[in-house]
Structure 1
């Protein structure tokens, strides 16, 4: 199933539209969830019983509206809803065990995302084992292209596979971007490089990695690029004409946002289109 988190915000509505369309393409059921988070209200002047009823009613209203939107967009998709006690990040992490994909808006009402890179989106994208798609508000015409960032490590393969599948389902082209930068030799500034040779080598890295999976998706048109640029700059530029930008997550830290690599975090901050973070 696909899981989408909602909190009544504009971006949550956009997330529902994205999620139900993906559920339709994948032929999967959609579960819409709302986190009933009592934490911010647990102070003496709020009676617990009245607060509980109010939060539950509001959650049911948000879920009802989201479900109506999903069924309007894709009537054939099986849609269920859940009001779940807990913080948004904890709720989504628990559902990660069952989900094929988790979708949430980039800006919520202090709920499922908060700031563009708020604690919830950072935490979920950094911890979830399934792909996490972060959606921006606002309508964009379809570009017919999926962009995926890759490097020369095996950790990028799940992101590459996810991007190929998204391109196949949408009938879209796939742009594979592998950016590179010249190494800086602080103690040997006179070192020179043959840039044409480096570009050729970088293109070969991309083509060899892509060739291993292209055979499974012969219907997907693939364009490979190896620009000399910082990865975040290259991917954000490519996102201008993309329907979805896919990145891996190579963070190595022990907790929180450190589990999300610096490129993933940078792309989530600046991308012009929805971003899917796929952990290796």
Structure 2
């Protein structure tokens, strides 16, 4: 897989934060950086001349935004190979297509459109939920460095791409990796059910360690902390993000109930985490 990092930018402060994050990650990976600005098609049903004027105006604006973004990269990481590209189309679709060519896609939490009070932009959510490979949704503004990467582990094969990305990130950063496994308390699902909570915890701990062992053998230099907790996955993962530079979660990409449940966790983490979040889908 290429070490190309693609970042989407739309002129918003959140987008420029994403550019800075992407520049740092491309530098760590010794990869190239492509900055993309998407020009949406004319949104109003009026005479065609307006559409032509709209596209021309928006394309010129996109080039100005790309020039600003490129300047950020050259000042921050002058050795990174950076290129820019203007693409016409629907932003979420265009960015998903770009993701198929890249090692990772980086976007800001909020764009220039939508509601001012929204925590997460619709484009960011759409891309994170559907694009192949890692999609990084960058926290707004600067953040303290904790020297820790956190990853959600659930024991399923679908978590493997997230673990691969997490160990790679921890290795490149020289950071500790916190593997977080959250399991809901049984009495929350069935109040009359009684069981040995400690035995359940040991079972979940064993599952987590078994999944981590092959990755630890491949990356012996990465220090791993196993964090198994009884609690709601969204709350537990968001809590881990409070002391992490990057929080990584997987996406099963299944149909039916499994996809709906996991999708709710992904949305919850993206909305509630106070750090940069990477959602990793398996590449088909």
TM-score by length of 1: 0.92
1:118 aligns with: 121
SS of equivalent residue, structure 2 residue 83: strand
2:57 maps to 1:54: yes
Q: Give the RMSD, CA atoms, in angstroms.
A: 2.3
SS of equivalent residue, structure 1 residue 99: coil
2:68 maps to 1:39: no
Out of 225, 228, 238, the position equivalent to 1:226 is 228
SS of equivalent residue, structure 2 residue 186: coil
Out of 241, 244, 253, the position equivalent to 1:242 is 244
Q: Deviations over 1:37-96 (max 9, x none)?
A: 123255349733332221111011000000010111100000000111111111111212
2:67 maps to 1:95: no
2:174 aligns with: 171
Q: 4+ residue runs of structure 1 moved beyond 4 angstroms?
A: 184-188, 257-260
* CA distance in structure 2 between the partners assigned to 1:164 and 1:228 by the alignment: 24
Q: Deviations over 1:13-34 (max 9, x none)?
A: 1100010110011111100000
* CA distance in structure 1 between the partners assigned to 2:222 and 2:188 by the alignment: 40
Runs of 5+ consecutive residues of structure 2 not aligned to the other structure: none
Larger deviation: 239-248 or 136-145? 136-145
Post-superposition offset of 1:116: 3.4
1:259–1:74 Cα change, 3 Å: farther
TM-score by length of 2: 0.90
Does the 8 Å CA contact 1:37/1:86 hold for their aligned counterparts? yes
- Aligned residue runs from structure 1 range 193-272, under 5 A: 193-253=195-255, 261-272=263-274
1:71–1:3 Cα change, 3 Å: same
1:42–1:18 Cα change, 3 Å: farther
Out of 146, 149, 154, the position equivalent to 1:143 is 146
2:31 aligns with: 28
* CA distance in structure 2 between the partners assigned to 1:246 and 1:26 by the alignment: 17
2:80 aligns with: 77
Does the 8 Å CA contact 2:11/2:112 hold for their aligned counterparts? yes
* CA distance in structure 2 between the partners assigned to 1:127 and 1:162 by the alignment: 17
1:152 aligns with: 155
Post-superposition offset of 1:187: 7.7
Does the 8 Å CA contact 2:247/2:275 hold for their aligned counterparts? yes
Does the 8 Å CA contact 1:175/1:224 hold for their aligned counterparts? yes
Q: Deviations over 1:166-219 (max 9, x none)?
A: 000000000000011233598881x42112222122111111111111011111
Does the 8 Å CA contact 1:251/1:262 hold for their aligned counterparts? no
Number of equivalences: 276
